[in-house]
Structure 1
Amino acid sequence: MTKPYIYITRKIPDAIIHPYADQFDFKMWEKADEPVPRDILLKEVERADGLLCMLSDNIDEALLNVANQMKVVANLAVGYDNIDVAAAKDRGITVTNTPDVLTETTADLTFALLMATARRIVEADSYIKKDLWKNWAPYLLAGSDIHHKTIGIVGMGRIGEAVARRAKGFGMSILYHNRSRHYETEKELQATYADFNELLTVSDFVLSLVPLTKETEQIFDRYAFEQMKSSAIFINASRGATVDEDALFEALQTNQIQAAGLDVYTEEPIQANHSLVQLDNTVCLPHIGSSTGETRSAMLNLCLDNIAAVFSGNAPKTPV
């Protein structure tokens, strides 16, 4: 019997797919750091039984229209705004994602980005490498305290809760805004629910950890930045399109807010000449929220476990 054909849109380690080699025939795009061209992806999807894709792959209705025998699309991410889930459902295609396994790692990165931005770590590193450090001075590269400040988390999902636990360790006051209240989280972490505008006006650190939906697209707009303290620091580790980047640039350039730490952008990859990258009060990372060797391997294994479950006639572990 012919084994199901699974196409993987990036090159991944052979050791990851080896345990599944008896169940499936695999083919991978040969490059790990470049996306598969659209024409090649369309050609592969025509004959693929399953697809393991990246968050940067656009799995839209046009692509699904040529997926003649596709049974499952496994997305290497928690978010799935890159996939037309409704179109997949109409065609009987299961869509899966990778929650849980990346929660703590992404929370680590989010809090590290907050700390690096507040304490001007990247700027300070560059200061020495450019041979600018000539003397000690009382306010040399003075940043902002983190401990005992107020953190405002917009999006109290798994990652938001994990970030809140880290904030608690720094003695921070925790505010959060979410579609629904999390009473257990409030009790466990002494977190306080706030409406969006209240959170913006009170918080010293405002974090975007929301999924990208029609409701959250550009939720951080010009009005939102106008509500923040002039000393506020904005962190985005969710999706770039939750932010009006022109409004953010203006807020940073005019010191309407103090600084920003960004791991995601409206258009990715972001270019070195992008206006936000040019600002000294902005720390920019290349969308590496879950990027540790251990976590990325766990995410890939979960994708493959989901694919295996579908072809075994079982429910996948993490369906969308």
Structure 2
Amino acid sequence: MSLDEAVRRAAPITDDELDALMLDAVEAELREAIVTRPVRRRAPRRRRRLVPAAGALVAAALAATIVFLSGSGGGTDRAWAAQAVRVAEAVPRLLIDGWTVTRADQFDVGTGEMQFENGVRRAELSWRRDQSLAGWVRDRGKSTRALADHAVLGTTARVFEYSPRDQTALWTMDGYVLELRGPGVEELLGRLRAVSVDVWLSAMPASVVRPGSSDRVIDEMLVDLPVPPGFDRAALDTHGAPRDRYQLGARVVAAVSCGWIKTWLEGAARERTAAVQALRAVERSAVLKAMNREGHYGEVLHQHVEAVATDGTVVGGKALTVAESYKDALGC
């Protein structure tokens, strides 16, 4: 049954009943997930868990010394800064034989996620440092069917099934809990291989902005964005960390939009009018148009722009004022 059909068949709920539900924490987690990870339009699928990524934005002010690594594709050199190499040297560097990395989010030593594709098949590999495997196993066991354990890279993975075409596997390696989710996950476990820093970084997709070009990309994104009073361009520096282009765009748009919303909340009539006009311009910007082809950040922003323009509310599980919702929703 499709999600739309399930909703149509569901019992109705009144506004009073909805307001009584304790949804604030769930709403905050969902809003954060929308900000930090694009919802890919090509083949959306139900996700069991939304991974908060506020702590995954790299803030370490490391020296931007460029390290040149020879890539595995055609011998073309790729430039990576010290932070990228630090991540690659710390985390389990795994690739799936015959599959292509198409996305890399929350790219940090502590937590990260990569998406692989092979034709129409898609899988996600994530890592988390200093966490309990038992806790993740208990969480997955609540809404899945346990399958037989499976060997992976010299250890054993716990395998669970959401549906025949959606399984997940959990195991530990080098102080990290790893999770591989996708169709036919038992087969994929056998195709995982550990690779060198050189090969792993070179496998990153073109959508990941290289550290050497991130400042240029940020400046390009800002070209048609009206910056708010007190805007701090330096706060957007990535300090050498690789960034998915969508995530980088979300950071840039959030910095601009949140500044204008703050102006609208605190300003006099003239400042409030200017803020509305600026936010409309943000909605027409090239960076947001590009993001709209991949995910739903623009839709969340539009809700807040309309609420600002009409002095209205933002509808979630319950109506929220702009002041109550914009920081969590937009990633300020």
Bin for the TM-score computed over the shorter chain: under 0.3
Higher RCO (CA 8 Å, separation ≥ 6 residues) = 2
Q: Give the TM-score taking structure 2 as reference length.
A: 0.25
Q: Give the TM-score taking structure 1 as reference length.
A: 0.26
Which one has the bigger strand percentage? 2
